[in-house]
Structure 1
């Protein structure tokens, strides 16, 4: 439970960051067809396969309007340590159906390519909560591949990012907040589209 409390603290912190830019996102309350996503939406396509039983597979895909997902860029110093990262959120923080990612950046605003847990330095982490279940999948190892990465930076400390992200790696499964002994092989793609009201996006 100590791990879950730590994760919850990270999620809450990220929610506060996201709230600072929520008024900048373009509103779109239309419904989303999973098979026909508009080009302006954020999309996700995830497969999780149980490593002990390949027939136990989770497929989670769809799209969200611009105001229901985001990728926040931030650069700041906390207790003499530099925090330079992208925080990604699909849906509502810590709720069923949400996807959370945090990715450390180098000095050139390029994300590190390693995927792991929350203690990982110079890498990224993913937490996936598929709809219709209380299950949660948290990354433990793997790789990240970003393409078409661009930033809109109204200030040097905070802004937004857009990109296509492919990932693959291992995930621990949690049910009702408790860690199980099941490990899943995960892979998938996220597309974060530009937020129109954030201004001009440019490559790093």
Structure 2
């Protein structure tokens, strides 16, 4: 029994010191550039607390009304914060090439009439990914309290993500595929598909 308990604890040791990245790939260049003539910010970047801070500081100075975004995603919590920032300030969001994982949290949180997609752009949806910062996975342990806290946080984030997707018209068969996709594996949805689901305007 003791050995079984030890094996169970070791099986979840990767949960120690985790974060919740929701990034499908890495954007090779990071650009956050403001065009004063169109009041548009071009955002080509991972979604992180740092990139969000730059967006908020720029908004305080320029009060832009549109973000044109291309992003592989990033940190889930930063995605939630960016979603709140964009929605609360009534900013338009335009996907120019792709908007994956944490970026889709921002996209689907924006009011329907404020979100747009260029014709050939796509959204990439996937489940929450787990990344461990543990160096020695075979000899790391978590307490029951840590495991309980992790489980609650994970359930909350997954529940939020799938509720958001479902509320924006993503059908059950697609949600099932999304639930089985993690890391760089994403379910690609095109603009025509999303128009059909009622998730975005034509």
**Fold similarity call, TM over 0.5:** no
Give the TM-score taking structure 2 as reference length: 0.23
Greater strand fraction, Structure 1 or Structure 2: 1
Bigger-Rg structure (1/2)? 2
Q: Higher relative contact order at CA 8 Å, sep ≥6: structure 1 or structure 2?
A: 2
Give the TM-score taking structure 1 as reference length: 0.23
Greater helix fraction, Structure 1 or Structure 2: 2
